[in-house]
Amino acid sequence: MINKQMLSENFSFYSLPSSKFKTNLLSIYIHIPIERETITHLALLPSVLERGCEAFPTFADIFKHTEELFGANLNCDIRRKGDNAVLFFTVEFANAKYTEEDVTQKVMELLRQVAFFPIIKDGGFSEDYVNQEKDNLARFIEGIINDKAEYAQHRCMEIMFEGETYGIPEYGFVEDLPNINGKNLFDFYKSIISNCQTDVFFSGEFDETSAVEQFKLVFANEISPRNLCASKTKVATPKHDEPKFVTEDMNISQSKLYMGFICQCCPTLQEYFPLMCLIHFSAAEPFRSYL
């Protein structure tokens, strides 16, 4: 059973005690409304933040510290959820039963550093880091077409929801990259850290009361009221009554077919669960839900 505690008006702590696993998982989720003007900034953020923080200035320093935490695994990324994106920081680490010490508080401190104390130079992110990650993101976006199944899936979403927030690709746009620099990317980062709903999720074998108190102690300055920006997931609505067929001709040996359906069903409805069963058992490959 998942338990929820409100640490402040916009900072929630979810806990799921379980003795089934040898590792615990601690995650921070920041919910951000998707906008065309800032989606490329958001796509860049995880890779820049992972490059270093005040306490661990380089990726090598972060990696070394995770090894000292009995091989903890740190991950930072974004995930699409309806008209929102979720910027998340997560650490999987060994349960205290199997280690010489309980490293929960050290893991919390690592997450706090990576999420809230990035390296700042001259009022912005490191230009070297930002430029390197801009090149990486550009190569990724331009390389999507080389994976024809992935390309077809992305094109299906863009065509189905053309002109809507739902159709904006979460990886951003190559043409936006030249206008992004360390200063305006840092300004965007500060705006979401200050204004967006934040959730914490902790699962594994631990004492709930102690875990919440540890978190409140480590994140005392971050748990504070904010001017929340609007953030919600809505059910997509069709723009046309007739099916739309799009064909793109390429010199390939095997065609790719993607079919998209708007089912007017969101995860809060009872019909959502039989819909997932239907799609999973009838599809040739696992269904990708964007709700």
pTM of the model: 0.85
Give a yes or no: residue 233 inside a domain: no
CATH of the domain at 194: 3.30.830.10
State residue 192's pLDDT score: 93
Give a yes or no: residue 223 inside a domain: no
Q: Residue 275's pLDDT band (boundaries 50, 70, 90)?
A: confident
Question: For 69-89, what is the mean pLDDT?
Answer: 93
Give a yes or no: residue 174 inside a domain: yes
Give a yes or no: residue 270 inside a domain: no
What's the number of domains the chain is made of? 1
Give a yes or no: residue 40 inside a domain: yes
Domain that holds residue 184: 3-218
3-state helix/strand/coil string of the chain: CCEEEEEECCEEEEEEECCCCCEEEEEEEEEEECCCCCHHHHHHHHHHHCCCECCCCCHHHHHHHHHHCCCCEEEEEEEEECCEEEEEEEEEEECHHHCCCCCHHHHHHHHHHHHHCECEECCEECHHHHHHHHHHHHHHHHHHHHCHHHHHHHHHHHHHCCCCHHHCCCCCCHHHHHHCCHHHHHHHHHHHHHHCCEEEEEEECCCHHHHHHHHHHHCCCCCCCCCCCCCCCCCCCCCCCCCCCCCCCCCCCCCCCCCCCCCCCCCCCCCHHHHHHHHHHHCCCCCCCCC
Give a yes or no: residue 9 inside a domain: yes
State residue 271's pLDDT score: 87
Q: Residue 287's pLDDT band (boundaries 50, 70, 90)?
A: very low
Residue 253: pLDDT above 50? yes
Give a yes or no: residue 169 inside a domain: yes
Give a yes or no: residue 211 inside a domain: yes
Question: For 64-69, what is the mean pLDDT?
Answer: 96
Q: Residue 284's pLDDT band (boundaries 50, 70, 90)?
A: very low
Listed range (39-48, 148-157, 270-279) with the worst mean pLDDT: 270-279
Task: Read off the pLDDT of residues 45-56 as tens digits, 9 standing for 90 and up.
Answer: 999 999 999 999
